Every structure is written in structure tokens, then in C-alpha cells.
Amino acid sequence: MRHQKKTVRLGRKAEHRKALLANQVCNLIEHQRIKTTLAKAKAVRPLAEKMVTLGKNGSIHARRTAFSALRHKDAVKKLFDEIAPRSTERNGGYTRIVRLGQRKSDSASMAFIEWVDAAVVEEKPAEEKKTKRKEPEEKPKKETKREEPKAKEKESPAAEEPKKKRRWFTRKSEGEK
């Protein structure tokens, strides 16, 4: 029995799970908000909050600890320089999970996970996206002329021989090469 085993396993082996969670946290740091399944969002939250706590500490040891967990220098730099300073007044609760409903393909519960202190991200309506599309430019039609076949110059005597019809199921004999 798994009494008092806190780890959410997500149907993966330990190394795969650690890599998945590290990538999710790095994407959260880079994009400020990610869309994922509810189970993954709940698994990402503790790791993301630990990283912000390390960022608030700011020591070289905290940077190295964060790098060993995340494995991306750019994400660690952004975490320590931008995200952690925004949360200096908070004592926890750096992320929020917003439920979105179910995914059509497999009915998995979807959610956004985002930073609480992040600037408001507005999504553009679909109508604006349509108006910004470039209309394809009309290409001038090429005038096609049939070129008259050029007169054949001297043909080799082998070309004068009638070609044998080959059927698809017959093989070439070595003499026909």
C-alpha cells in the first residue's frame, strides 16, 4: 500500500516524471502561463513554488539548486531576475490553477497554471486574427506554348531497332541492359 507517499506519479517512471515537471516549470517561467492537464498542473505547482522560494533567497547555492532541478540556464536566470523579485511580499501561493473544462479528444480535464503576480495576459479574439491574415497575391498566369518537336539528328543504329514491349511481371535479361 502507498500510505503517505506524496509523489504524484502521472503514469511515468521517476526520471521521465522529473524531466516532464522540470520542462513544465521552465515553460511556465518563460511564458508566464501554460495550458496543461489538471493532474500535471497540480504536480507542477509544488515544484514551481519551491523554485520561487529559492529565487527569493538569491544565493549562489540557491541558483545551483534551481539549476540542478530545472536544467535550463535561461529559465533559472529569468526566475531569479524577474519572477522571484515580484513575489518578495508573498509567503507562498505564487501560482494559480484555472480549470478550463475537458479536452475534446480524450476528455482529460484541462487547466491553465499561471503566476499570481504576472501581468494580465489578454488573448486576441479570433476575428482579429482573421483580419491580419495576408491575402495570397495573384500570380501572373504563364502563357504556355507548345514547342514544335525539333528534328532528330542522326540516330544510332540501336535506336532504329523496334523496342520490345515489356510486361510488368517480366524481368530484364542481362542482355537487354
160 lies in a domain?
Answer: no
Domain of 103: which CATH number?
A: 3.90.1030.10
Structurally, the chain folds into a number of domains equal to: 1
Question: Domain residues for 56?
Answer: 14-119
Q: Is the pLDDT of residue 166 over 70?
A: no
Average pLDDT, the chain: 84
Q: Residue 88: what pLDDT?
A: 93
- The average pLDDT across 82-88 equals 94
Pairing of the two strands 109-115 and 95-102: antiparallel
- The average pLDDT across 72-98 equals 96
* Alpha carbon distance 25, 116 (integer Å): 15
* Alpha carbon distance 91, 165 (integer Å): 86
Q: For cell 504556355, what's the residue?
A: 144
pLDDT tens column, 138-151? 766 666 666 666 65
* Alpha carbon distance 68, 45 (integer Å): 18
* Alpha carbon distance 60, 84 (integer Å): 14
pLDDT tens column, 106-130? 999 999 999 999 866 566 666 655 5
Q: Is the pLDDT of residue 172 over 90?
A: no
